[in-house]
């Protein structure tokens, strides 16, 4: 396994990356990178790789040359850290007790997990279906919306990410997953501009509040299309971007007015990452379908799924998600134990507390930095925007990349999003001392770029 490519759309030949790679002298690491490059199909954002991983434990990853990094990316799977002892033991015990369950048979642990998710979710969100990955879960949600409404169109947002599958990339809005594909994507996938326009982001006055202006774009599209099955969106962008107050309430009202379902993609943001169990809890709404994934498997096993309103249980005559591992007892045990750990260790509240502390420290240290724009986020998903100057807020990818590699040299790995946002997403189990160490690294590296 290799450290994930960190900059969206970054070329493999960037100067900073090339300089980092040129310093690699450890034979085992260099040989494994060469084997990786020769074995895997190359694609943007994943291969060739930056480095290797030999060990992952708690908040730490370690490469084959012995270098250790605090992992503030983790592909959003590591809420409870890597290799949580309680999870390791639970998975071992489940493998001994029941390692697999063929479809059309059921098992206690899978049913218990489905019931538990229905209890965690608000209102009448209590019907569940599991998949092996988030992209598949998004497509199940889209199929269910079609079955429930008799419509096929969707409205989603430019720049959004919902997965790499054909349907998921159709409703997604990132160019990386939509470009250079021969032929059309899924028909009926309409897009509108996302929240976080210039006015939303920086508080510049406009003729009306930004929340209403942005949400009215969604309502305009719903009214003009007239036959939309669902609006699908991330409640908070993982880049990260926080919606303006009242935004989702206005969008939900528009969905109800025009008969469209509201699907919230909580794959990276759910299960406590933002300081609430679900990111949409911050916004006072109750969606019709919720999509979960990533951290649900405890940073160990792949499992995702949807939670839908009880009255959307209308697809019994259709196959909306037939998966070999639909009720796999081992992945279900991993998810159930992960939920137990999140609850028993108070990780949702911990995320809120530590996240507020982190943003306060960053804002205090960098508020007047000439190349820092916005500092934003919720809970333990927050970021620092690197810009050419504070007035124009023009992204500065080169400077952001230099900061990234300076941090990597000091033992901190994270992701650069949207070209120049230092995106920091530590595990919810991180100690305050380790968090402060990481923040010191980011602050020092950023200040060194004056």
pTM (2 d.p.): 0.93
Question: Under 8 Å CB-to-CB from 46, ≥6 apart: which residues?
Answer: 4, 5, 40
- The token duo for 44 is 């943007």
Decide: helix, strand or coil at residue 330. Answer: helix
For 364-408, what is each residue's pLDDT tens digit? 999 999 999 999 999 999 999 999 998 888 999 999 999 999 999
For 150-197, what is each residue's pLDDT tens digit? 999 999 999 899 998 889 999 998 877 776 665 788 899 999 999 876
Classify domain 107-344 at the CATH topology level. Answer: 3.40.640
- Between CA 315 and CA 390 the distance in angstroms is 52
Question: Under 8 Å CB-to-CB from 12, ≥6 apart: which residues?
Answer: 48
> How far is CA 77 from its chain centroid?
9
The pLDDT of residue 256: 97
Q: What is the DSSP letter of 132?
A: S
The pLDDT of residue 10: 39
Burial of 199 (0-12, 13-18, 19+ CB in 10 A): middle
Residues of the chain with pLDDT under 50: 1-13, 204-208, 211
Domain ranges of the chain: 107-344
């Amino acid at each position: 396994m290799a450290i994930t490519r960190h900059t969206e759309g970054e070329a493999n030949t960037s100067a900073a990356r090339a300089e980092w790679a040129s310093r690699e002298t450890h034979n085992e690491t260099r040989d494994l990178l060469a084997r990786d490059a020769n074995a895997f199909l190359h694609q943007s954002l994943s291969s060739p790789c930056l480095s290797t991983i030999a060990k992952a434990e708690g908040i730490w990853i370690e490469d084959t040359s012995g270098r250790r990094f605090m992992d503030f990316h983790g592909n959003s799977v590591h809420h409870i850290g890597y290799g949580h002892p309680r999870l390791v033991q639970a998975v071992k015990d489940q493998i001994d007790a029941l390692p697999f369950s063929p479809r059309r048979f059921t098992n206690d642990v899978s049913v218990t997990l489905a019931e538990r998710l229905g209890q965690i979710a608000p209102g009448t969100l209590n019907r569940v279906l599991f998949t092996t990955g988030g992209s598949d879960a998004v497509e199940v949600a889209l199929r269910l919306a079609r079955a429930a409404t008799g419509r096929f169109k969707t409205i989603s947002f430019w720049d959004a990410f919902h997965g790499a599958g054909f349907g998921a990339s159709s409703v997604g809005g990132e160019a990386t997953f939509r470009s250079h594909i021969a032929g059309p994507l899924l028909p009926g996938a309409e897009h509108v501009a996302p929240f976080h326009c210039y006015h939303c982001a920086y508080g510049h006055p406009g003729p009306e509040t930004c929340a209403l202006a942005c949400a009215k774009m969604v309502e305009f599209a719903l009214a003009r299309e007239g036959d939309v099955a669902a609006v699908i969106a991330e409640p908070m962008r993982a880049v990260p971007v926080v919606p303006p107050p009242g935004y989702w309430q206005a969008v939900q009202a528009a969905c109800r007015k025009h008969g469209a379902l509201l699907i919230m993609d909580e794959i990276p943001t759910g299960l406590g990452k933002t300081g609430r169990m679900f990111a949409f809890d911050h916004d006072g709404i109750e969606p019709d379908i919720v999509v979960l994934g990533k951290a649900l498997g405890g940073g160990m096993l792949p499992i995702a799924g949807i939670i839908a309103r009880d009255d959307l249980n209308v697809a019994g005559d259709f196959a909306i998600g037939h998966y070999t591992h639909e009720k796999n007892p081992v992945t279900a045990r991993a998810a159930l134990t992960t939920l137990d750990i999140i609850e028993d260790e108070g990780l949702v509240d911990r995320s809120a507390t530590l996240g507020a502390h982190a943003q306060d420290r960053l804002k205090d240290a960098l508020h007047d930095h000439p190349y820092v724009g916005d500092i934003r986020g919720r809970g333990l998903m927050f970021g620092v925007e690197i810009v050419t100057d504070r007035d124009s807020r023009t992204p500065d990818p080169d400077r952001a990349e230099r900061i990234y590699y300076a941090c990597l040299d000091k033992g901190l790995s994270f992701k650069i999003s949207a070209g120049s946002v230092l995106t920091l997403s530590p595990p919810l189990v991180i100690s305050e001392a380790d968090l402060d160490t990481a923040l010191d690294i980011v602050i020092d590296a950023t200040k060194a770029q004056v």
